[in-house]
Amino acid sequence: MHDTRKQTTDLDTLTARLREKMRHNGITIAAVSGFAGAGKTTLCRSILKALPDTAYHFECDRFSRYSFKEREKRIAEQMAGSDKSAADEQNPLHWYDWSEIEKALSALRKGRRFDFSRAWNPASGELDAHYALHLGEDEPVLVLCDGIFLLHEPVRDWFDATIFVDCPAPLRKFRGRRRTKDPERHAYMMHLERTFGEPYFRDFSSCADNLYRVDASP
């Protein structure tokens, strides 16, 4: 059960909590976690607008273990093997390069910058992009770490605050259909959500410091 004192649908309330965290840290890193289509990136952009020049967006999707083609190949090979479920390769939790994410966050804390030359290229699906983030030199700043799976150990221990974006399932599915034009691909992504996403958040959503409820309609 979530602590109701941590629940909010009000952006100003959530931003005020993050601003209070910033008073005690030179660099505050907050995890923004939730299902695909929950509105994590939209929330990050709203907070960035509310805290201009002091908030930064960190995209976990840029840190992938494999290119899209390599990932699909590995899934197909596992499906063709003795383990028909392909649980390890299909689980989106395992698609991320967690060690590189940890290195980048550590670099931000230590030197206020990171440069990553093997980033996921959303246009091509390859790992050939450059991704960098340089924070201000001295002033307190907030880094919003935007990613689906950020509430399990030891990952959640990397953050000063954690936010679970709770969005109604019909709205998430509506957004998913709008984003993914291929019906087969959309059905596959819904399968992944049911198989891996729903169990993950049943186990870990209550670990978030803050629960931000999205009550908007499609």
Go through the domains of the chain in sequence order and give each one's CATH number.
4-213 (3.40.50.300)
| Tally of helices (H runs) and strands (E runs) in the chain | 8, 8
Most confidently modeled range among 71-80, 152-161, 171-180, 209-218: 152-161
What pLDDT is stored for residue 209 in this prediction?
Answer: 93
| Beta strands 27-33; 141-146: pairing state | parallel
Show the beta-strand stretches assigned E in 40-140: 55-59, 113-119, 129-134
pTM of this structure: 0.91
Contacts of 124 (CB under 8 A, 6+ apart): none
Q: What pLDDT does residue 78 have?
A: 86
As a whole number, mean pLDDT of residues 33-57 equals 95
pLDDT at 182: 84
What local confidence, expressed as pLDDT, does residue 3 receive?
55
Is 90 exceeded by the pLDDT of residue 101? yes
pLDDT for 138: 79
Distances (CA, A) of 25 to 11, 29, 106, 110: 21, 9, 14, 13
Is the pLDDT reported for residue 86 higher than 60? no
Grade residue 216 by pLDDT with cuts at 50, 70 and 90: low
